[in-house]
Amino acid sequence: MRVPPAIEARRLHKWYGDVHAVDAVNLTIDEGEVFCLLGPNGAGKSTTVEILEGHRPRSSGEVSVLGYDPQTGGRPFRERIGIVLQQQAVEDVLTVREALELYASMFPKQRSVDELIDVVGLRPKAKRRIRTLSGGQRRRLELALGMVGDPDVLFLDEPTTGFDPSARRQAWTVVEGLSSLGKTVLLTTHYMDEAQNLADRVAVISAGNIIAEGTPATVGGRGSAASRISFRVSANRPFDLPDDLSVDRTEDGELTVTTTDPTRDLYRLTGWALDAGFNLDRLEVRQPSLEDVYLELIGEEAGE
Ligand SMILES: Nc1ncnc2c1ncn2[C@@H]1O[C@H](COP(=O)(O)OP(=O)(O)O)[C@@H](O)[C@H]1O
Ligand SMILES: [Mg+2]
């Protein structure tokens, strides 16, 4: 029997007055997947996630999370999900440990508070009041609060915004740990490296529409997109490049070949250089990064 998806949205719409924040979004996220919604500010990421969490009513469409309609699932639904909102309100007179214990007491299933304090790296701050934490430490606490009920589905809305690089890596390790426990994670981010490192699948959302979906390696045609070979020729005499290569030259002397067959073109190029006795300096082959693909998609959508 096929396992039903953990999260499903069909033709989901959200209007705020006359702002069409979510426009016919379809999503299917399987149990155990880490799924990443990528998009610029105002794209509709938070609205989509908050509807799936049951924090916001939808205007129309069908939504199912763990088989519940988030709008009517009530306590049984809320006990099985974890939430880290983009803007979170936490009682900041409590200590880190007190807040975790309080949240834990609201769930039938719980993760060990001690273990979570270590998982998010807040051991030295466990007895401190929340209001004395730095922004990054507070966000790590919020991540721990989202996990304390041992949720089957975790929603993370920009979980690492404002983190320094090492805190970000640590948060990634936490998310990877959840995924290895078979939990489903839906996260939003505008950090491409975060999506590249964490996500099994990504969807790019712009102006309320999903404009591309796939794995980080293939989304937006990335898997089949042209590569760029760049190099310089150090030669003490004039030269002609092989004519079966189409080469562009930039002002500073860098040469580039854009190709969908880098194996063949690199072979031609290095063969030509070896035969002629030239060196190819700073030779590099680059495939479009997730960021290249993303910017192209977003640019298109903005009508550029
Ligand atoms: N509570 C609200 N009332 C009115 N408009 C809103 C509200 N929340 C978000 N919006 C608008 O909806 C659109 C999507 O916002 P949001 O979902 O927060 O995007 P993102 O999380 O991708 O930045 C934006 O145009 C935003 O201004
Ligand atoms: Mg947002």
CATH number for the domain that contains residue 44 = 3.40.50.300
Amino acid at 207: A
Residues 36 and 102 in one domain: no
Q: Quote the pLDDT of residue 304.
A: 47
Determine if ligand 1 sits within 6 Å of the CB of residue 46. Answer: yes
CA 116 to ligand 2 center in whole angstroms:
26
Residues 137 and 2 in one domain: no
Residues 157 and 301 in one domain: yes
Residues 117 and 206 in one domain: no
Question: Residue 199 in contact with residue 36, Cβ under 8 Å?
Answer: yes
Query: Which of 133, 150, 167 is the last residue before a domain boundary?
Result: 150
Q: Which residues pair with 201 in a beta bridge?
A: 35
Residues 213 and 292 in one domain: yes
Residues 274 and 145 in one domain: no
For ligand 1, pick from 14, 15, 16, 58 the residue to mutate: most ligand atoms within 8 Å of CB: 16
3 state DSSP class of 147: helix
Determine how β-strand 184-189 pairs with β-strand 227-234.
unpaired
Query: Which of 111, 127, 150 is the last residue before a domain boundary?
Result: 150
Query: Which of 150, 169, 196 is the last residue before a domain boundary?
Result: 150
Question: Residue 39 in contact with residue 205, Cβ under 8 Å?
Answer: yes
Ligand 1 atom 3, closest CA:
16
Residues 21 and 163 in one domain: yes
Does the model's pTM come out above 0.85? yes
CA 46 to ligand 1 center in whole angstroms:
7
Range of the domain at 127: 86-150
Determine if ligand 1 sits within 6 Å of the CB of residue 206. Answer: no
Residue 49 Cα: closest atom of ligand 1: 17
For ligand 1, pick from 18, 19, 205 the residue to mutate: most ligand atoms within 8 Å of CB: 19
Residues 171 and 263 in one domain: no
Long-range contacts at 293-299 (CB < 8 A, ≥ 24 apart): 293/212, 293/219, 293/220, 293/221, 293/222, 293/225, 294/38, 294/192, 294/204, 294/220, 296/220, 297/204, 297/206, 297/211, 297/212, 297/220, 298/39, 298/40, 298/204, 298/206
Question: Residue 285 in contact with residue 262, Cβ under 8 Å?
Answer: yes
Residues 16 and 134 in one domain: no
For ligand 1, pick from 20, 47, 51, 190 the residue to mutate: most ligand atoms within 8 Å of CB: 47
Determine if ligand 1 sits within 6 Å of the CB of residue 45. Answer: yes
3 state DSSP class of 88: coil
Q: Which residues pair with 280 in a beta bridge?
A: 233
Take residue 85 and report the two structure tokens written for it: 């909102």
Which distant-in-sequence residues (6+ apart) come within 8 Å of 175 by Cβ? 34, 156, 159, 185, 187, 198
> What residues are neighbours of ligand 2 (ion), with CB under 5 Å?
45-46, 86
Distance CA 289, CA 11 (A): 30
Q: Which residues pair with 213 in a beta bridge?
A: 203
Residues 191 and 47 in one domain: yes
3 state DSSP class of 58: coil
Take residue 16 and report the two structure tokens written for it: 């705020």
The number of distinct structural domains making up the chain is 3
Determine if ligand 1 sits within 6 Å of the CB of residue 302. Answer: no
CA 69 to ligand 1 center in whole angstroms:
22
CA 14 to ligand 1 center in whole angstroms:
10
Which distant-in-sequence residues (6+ apart) come within 8 Å of 13 by Cβ? 20, 22, 23, 24, 25, 58, 59, 60, 61
Residues 8 and 66 in one domain: yes
Q: Please report, in tens digits, the pLDDT of each residue of the chain (304 residues total).
A: 677 899 999 999 999 999 999 999 999 999 999 999 999 999 999 999 999 999 999 999 999 999 999 999 999 999 999 999 988 788 889 999 999 999 999 999 999 999 999 989 999 999 999 999 988 899 899 999 999 999 999 999 999 987 888 888 989 999 999 998 899 999 999 889 999 999 999 999 999 999 999 999 999 888 888 899 999 998 788 888 888 888 998 888 899 999 999 999 999 999 999 999 999 999 999 989 999 999 999 986 655 4
Residues 282 and 237 in one domain: yes
Distance CA 123, CA 121 (A): 6
